[in-house]
Amino acid sequence: MKTSLKNQYAQANQILIGIVSAVFGYNLYQAIVHPEKSHLILSIILLGITYYMCKEYGYKTAKEKE
């Protein structure tokens, strides 16, 4: 059974989603606890870029069947 990725960006997008989630969560925590140290606007911009990338290239793998 041979499988190949039809969507080559799927794995990169999964990693990107994980990193952005961690950064956004940390900055949301900083906004609540230490508002003067937060970079929430930058996190929201990064979240928007991630949404666009996943919408454009997809985030699920598609496997070919033989």
Task: Decide if 39 is inside a domain.
Answer: yes
pLDDT in tens, 2-16: 445 566 777 778 888
Task: Decide if 22 is inside a domain.
Answer: yes
Task: Decide if 63 is inside a domain.
Answer: no
Domain residues for the domain of 22 are: 17-57
Task: Decide if 10 is inside a domain.
Answer: no
pTM for the full model? 0.64
Report how many domains make up the chain: 1
Q: Is the pLDDT of residue 35 over 60?
A: yes
pLDDT band at 1; cut points 50, 70, 90: very low
Contact 61/10 with Cβ under 8 angstroms?
yes
Task: Decide if 37 is inside a domain.
Answer: yes
pLDDT band at 34; cut points 50, 70, 90: confident
Task: Decide if 41 is inside a domain.
Answer: yes
Task: Decide if 64 is inside a domain.
Answer: no
Q: Report DSSP letters for 13-60, one per residue.
A: HHHHHHHHHHHHHHHHHHHHH-GGG--HHHHHHHHHHHHHHHHHH-SS
Distance CA 63, CA 10 (A): 12
Say which residue, 5 or 21, is predicted with more confidence: 21
Task: Decide if 44 is inside a domain.
Answer: yes
